[in-house]
Amino acid sequence: MKNIRLNYRYRDAHNYKEFGSMVFANPAGMSVEAATDLLRGKLISEEFFVPQDWGLARLHASSYNPEVDHEWHEFEEFENTDDPATDGRDVMEFLEGVVKGD
C-alpha cells in the first residue's frame, strides 16, 4: 500500500518560498483525490492553512517579521509515495483531526 505525501509551501512577504512535506501511512488505501477533497473544505480560500493548527511544521527558514510576514502556508498537493511515513498519524487520523478542528 502506498503512503501519501502532503506537499505544502510558505511564501514570505518578499515572495521567497520554502517547501515542505509530511508523509502519512495509508493503511486504508485512501486515494489522493479523496484526501484532497476532504482537505479542500478546511482550507482558507481552498488554498491556505496555518500548519501549527494541524500539527505540521512551519516553514519559516528566514527571519520572521510579524509586521509583514504571516502564518498562512499554501497547500500544494497530496501524492502517493513509497517513502516511509514521517508522521505518527496515518492519513485518515490526520484528516479526521483537520475536519474536526483538532
Question: Region 31-45: what's the mean pLDDT?
Answer: 94
Three-state DSSP class for residue 51: helix
**Grid cell in block for residue 43:** 482550507
**pLDDT exceeds cutoff 60 at 36:** yes
Q: What are residue 22's DSSP bridge partners?
A: 6
Domain boundaries, the chain: 3-100
Q: pTM higher than 0.85 for the full model?
A: yes
pLDDT tens for each residue of 1-27: 799 999 999 988 778 889 999 999 999
Model pLDDT, residue 102: 57
Model pLDDT, residue 61: 67
Three-state DSSP class for residue 33: helix
